Amino acid sequence: MIDVSVIIPVYNAEKTIEQTVKSVISQLDFYTGSLEIIIIDDGSKDNSYKLCEDFCASDYLKENARLSIKCKHIKNSGVSNARNIGIEQASGKYLMFVDADDTLEADALKYMYEAMNNVSDDEAPKTEDDIAFVSMVPNSEKEDVFTGTEYIASKLLYKDTHVWGKLFKSEAIKDIRFKDGLTIGEDMLFLLELAIKYRGSRCIKCLPEQKYIYIDNAEGAMKREFKSSYIDQLTCWQLAEKIITEQGIVLEDKSRIRLSCIQIMAAMLLVGKLSQIKENKKDEIQIDLVVADCKKQIKESLGIKGTFAALEAGYKVKVLVFLLSQKLYMRSYGNWKK
Distance (Å, rounded) from C-alpha 185 to C-alpha 191? 10
Q: Are strands 133-136 and 204-207 parallel, antiparallel or unpaired?
A: parallel
Does the pLDDT value for residue 102 go beyond 70? yes
* Listed residue (169, 170, 161) closest to 137, CA to CA: 161
Domain boundaries along the sequence of the chain: 4-213, 228-337
The pLDDT, as a whole number, for residue 128 is: 40
Which residues make Cβ contacts (< 8 Å) with residue 334, sequence separation at least 6? 275, 276
The pLDDT, as a whole number, for residue 285 is: 66
* Average pLDDT, rounded, for the chain: 90
User: Could you read off the pLDDT of 254-273 as tens digits, one per residue?
Assistant: 999 999 999 999 999 999 99
Alpha helices in the chain, H assignment, sequence order: 17-25, 48-56, 60-63, 79-89, 108-117, 148-154, 186-197, 232-246, 253-274, 287-302, 307-310, 313-324, 326-337
The pLDDT, as a whole number, for residue 59 is: 76
Residue 40's CB is within 10 A of a number of other CB atoms, namely 25
Question: What pTM did the predictor assign?
Answer: 0.93
CATH homologous superfamily, domain 4-213: Spore Coat Polysaccharide Biosynthesis Protein SpsA; Chain A (3.90.550.10)
Query: Is 21 in contact with 60 (CB distance < 8 Å)?
Result: no
Distance (Å, rounded) from C-alpha 262 to C-alpha 301? 9
CA geometry: angle 266, 269, 274, nearest 5 deg: 125
Which residues make Cβ contacts (< 8 Å) with residue 117, sequence separation at least 6? none
As beta bridge partners, residue 7 has 38, 97
Q: Are strands 94-97 and 166-169 parallel, antiparallel or unpaired?
A: antiparallel
The pLDDT, as a whole number, for residue 338 is: 67
User: Could you read off the pLDDT of 221-233 as tens digits, one per residue?
Assistant: 545 566 778 899 9
* Listed residue (311, 234, 332) closest to 319, CA to CA: 311
Going by pLDDT thresholds of 50, 70 and 90, the confidence category of residue 279 is: low
Which residues make Cβ contacts (< 8 Å) with residue 59, sequence separation at least 6? none
